Amino acid sequence: MSVTTRKARVTLWVLQSIVAAVFLFAGGFKLALPLATLAKLSPLPAAFLKFIGVCEVTGALGLILPGALKIHRELTPIAASGLGIIMVGAVTVTVLTLGVAPAVTPFVVGILAAVVARGRWQWTRREERPGGYAPAIRAAKAA
């Protein structure tokens, strides 16, 4: 998906917001629960689930804040890729413990994270951004 059109940019922002909300909720839930309660919900160690919760919350922030604040926008596709990797693990654990049908939700969320990552890789190309590093790069190539 090219990020050159307004429709594509708006679509990516909507997808980013949805994915960020999902991960902010899921990660916040994992962080808010006590370790004993968390241990009963999954076969994975509770401390590992807390770590995943931290990763999900920081990934959700990484989807929104760089674009909203217009600083280090290259972090958005990295955050989306990291969240996609977390979803690969979530799908795997869900299939092994609960079966294939419940794994559809993490699979879809992982696909959405991958779409955001792919769409935002183009966003970070400094040569294509107006006011980016393109003038300095062109000057260096010309010299």
pLDDT 10s digits, 29-63: 999 999 999 999 999 999 999 999 999 999 999 99
Inform me whether the pLDDT recorded for 127 exceeds 70: no
- The ranges assigned to domains in the chain are 6-142
What span, in angstroms and rounded, lies between the C-alpha atoms of 74 and 1? 17
SS3 sequence, 64-122? HHHHHHCCCCCHHHHHHHHHHHHHHHHHHHHHHHCCCHHHHHHHHHHHHHHHHHHHHHH
Residues 112-126 have a mean pLDDT of: 84
Angle at 61 between CA 120 and CA 106, to 5 degrees: 75
Average of per-residue pLDDT values in the chain: 88
With cut-offs at 50, 70 and 90, classify the pLDDT of residue 6: confident
